Amino acid sequence: MPATMNRLALLPLDLPPGLRAIATERRFDPHTELFLQGHPATEIFGILAGRVTLWRVDESGAPCTLLLLGKGELLGSVSVAQGAPHLTSATALDRVTAVCWPAQLFRETVRQDSGLAQSFLQAVARRAVQLMDRFDDIAGLDVEARLARLLLRLCADFGQHDDDLAVVIDIRQHDLAELAFTTVPTVSRVLSKWRADGIASTQRGQVTIPHLSRLAARGGVHLD
C-alpha cells in the first residue's frame, strides 16, 4: 500500500517527489524476516513502527545480534549502497510497519539527487557509528557495564515514562542477553543485583529504570 507523506517524515532522508510517490508500506508479523544475510539486496527499508533486530551468522555458524532498531531507521542501506548481498539479517521483534523502495531505483536516484545523496550518506555513517559503539562495548567492558550501556540506549530509543517518571522498556531477558553478548542466566543475575540496589526492576517482558543516573554510573557513563 502507498505510504502517507507524514509517515515518510519519520525517515532521515531528503526524499524527492518521485520516491515519495512510489513508497510502499509493508507489514511484518513478529519473528518474520525482512531480509537474510547473503541474499541479494533488492529493496531498501525504512521503519515506520515496531522494532527490528539486525543480526548475522559468524564464521563458526553462531548467530549474533548486532542492533535493535526502531522507527526512523533504515535497513539494508549499506548493502544497497554497495550493490552487494546483505551483510546481515533483519527480523521483526514485534509487529513492524516499514516502507520500501526497489534497491536499483533508489541507487539511481541517489546518484541524481544531491539532497538525497547527502542524507543517505549521513544515514549510512550513523549506522557505522552505531556498530562501532557496540563493538567497543563488547571488546572493552565487563558484562555489567555492557548491559548498563545497552539499557541506556534502549531507554533513549524505546523507553516510556510511567506514572512515577521511571523509564519502562518492553524487552525480554532473552533479547537483552543476545544484545549484550551474554547468557540469559547472567542477565538474570545482574538484574537481580540491580533490583536489590534500586537500579532496575523487572516483570515479564519489561525492565523499569527508576533512576537513569544510577544505571549510567554502572556503565561508566556521565549524564549531562
Average pLDDT of 64-91?
95
pLDDT for res 224: 66
Q: Which of 28, 29, 11 is nearest to 20 (CA)?
A: 11
Question: What predicted TM-score, i.e. pTM, was given to this entire model?
Answer: 0.90
pLDDT band of residue 162 (cuts 50, 70, 90) is confident
User: Cell 552505531 maps to which residue?
Assistant: 130
Judged on CB neighbours under 10 Å (0-12, 13-18, 19+), 36 is middle
pLDDT greater than 90 at residue 223: no
Q: List, in order of start, the domains of the chain with CATH numbers.
A: 5-138 (2.60.120.10), 142-218 (1.10.10.10)
pLDDT for 140 equals: 86
Where is average pLDDT lowest: 82-91, 103-112, 132-141, 145-154? 132-141
- Which residue in 132, 140, 159, 139 sits closest to 215, CA to CA? 159
Map residue 46 onto helix, strand or coil: strand
